[in-house]
Amino acid sequence: PKQIKDIKEFLEIARRKDAKSARVKKNADSVKFKVRCSRYLYTLVVKDKSKANKLRQSLPPGKLNLGFCII
């Protein structure tokens, strides 16, 4: 697994062809976005709830249908 710190870089990874699914995991203090690609599971941790909501809306819809879950 790899942790990504930059939101723009994470969105580029989520739009790649080998990105199979995206998951959103909500915790009490943060929201984790996970994208499964062919080689790695990329993770982005966002502590701001409004940024997390905007990021969730900007994820590619085709990827979310395959493996979207809120835990």
Residue 59 contacts by C-beta under 8 Å, 6 or more apart in sequence?
11, 14, 22, 33
Predicted local confidence at residue 60, as pLDDT: 83
CA 26 to chain centre: 12
Predicted local confidence at residue 70, as pLDDT: 57
Query: Are 21 and 66 a contacting pair, CB within 8 Å?
Result: yes
What value does the mean pLDDT take over residues 20-41? 93
Domain map of the chain by residue range?
2-67
What value does the mean pLDDT take over residues 14-39? 92
Predicted local confidence at residue 62, as pLDDT: 74
Predicted local confidence at residue 44, as pLDDT: 97
Residue 26 CA to residue 56 CA, distance in Å, equals: 12
Fold of 2-67: 3.30.720
What value does the mean pLDDT take over residues 14-40? 93
